[in-house]
């Protein structure tokens, strides 16, 4: 018996006992039976809502799982060069004159003016335009004092 059925059973009992609602005790008992019936209805409604919410949460959880799977699949697809591109900020791409591999340079490499190709080991020299604004602030700080 669930709570709704128990409340209905209680109401039946009260009616069977022919409780006299004109007495204070009878009025109290009948009111209690009424209130319990309403509470049972409310609890039943809430149980239904919770079931529905659980279904929604399950669906959201599944959808999120799919999104996560897609996202991490995408993340793994990115090769190292892409990752460097994403978190490196000022990266410059040069092509090795010896082996044709692409090499990514950061600020330090640019200041040094040369880099050893990670693929073939040949030292590559390069120059860059000083007016590039990526380290203009550094240059100003050095010359102002």
Query: Which of 40, 96, 110, 115 forms a contact with Zn ion (CB under 5 A)?
Result: 96
> Is 8 exposed, middle or buried, given 0-12, 13-18 or 19+ CB atoms closer than 10 A?
middle
| Residue range at the interface with Zn ion (CB under 5 A); choices 12-20, 24-32, 49-57, 88-96 | 88-96
Contact string (CB under 5 A) for Zn ion, positions 107-136, x = contact: ----------x-xx----------------
Query: Site size for Zn ion, by CB under 5 A?
Result: 7
CA atoms within 13 A on the CB side of 36: 18
CA–CA distances in Å: residue 31 to residues 18, 23, 41, 42, 72: 14, 12, 15, 17, 60
Cα end-to-end distance, the chain, whole Å: 88
Using CB under 5 A as the binding rule, whether residue 97 contacts Zn ion is answered as: no
Query: Which of 31, 98, 114, 139 forms a contact with Zn ion (CB under 5 A)?
Result: 98
Interface residue list for Zn ion (CB under 5 A): 96, 98-99, 101, 117, 119-120
């Amino acid at each position: 018996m669930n709570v709704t059925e128990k409340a209905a059973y209680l109401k039946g009992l009260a009616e069977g006992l022919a409780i006299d609602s004109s007495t204070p005790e009878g009025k109290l008992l009948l009111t209690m039976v009424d209130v319990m019936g309403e509470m049972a209805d409310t609890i039943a409604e809430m149980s239904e809502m919770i079931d529905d919410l659980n279904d929604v949460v399950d669906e959201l959880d599944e959808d999120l799982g799919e999104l996560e799977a897609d996202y991490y699949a995408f993340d793994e697809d990115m090769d190292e060069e892409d990752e460097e591109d994403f978190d490196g900020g000022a990266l410059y791409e040069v092509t090795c004159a010896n082996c044709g591999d692409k090499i990514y340079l950061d600020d330090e490499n640019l200041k040094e003016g040369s880099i050893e190709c990670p693929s073939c080991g040949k030292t590559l020299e390069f120059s860059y335009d000083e007016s590039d604004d990526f380290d203009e602030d550094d240059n100003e700080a050095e010359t102002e004092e």
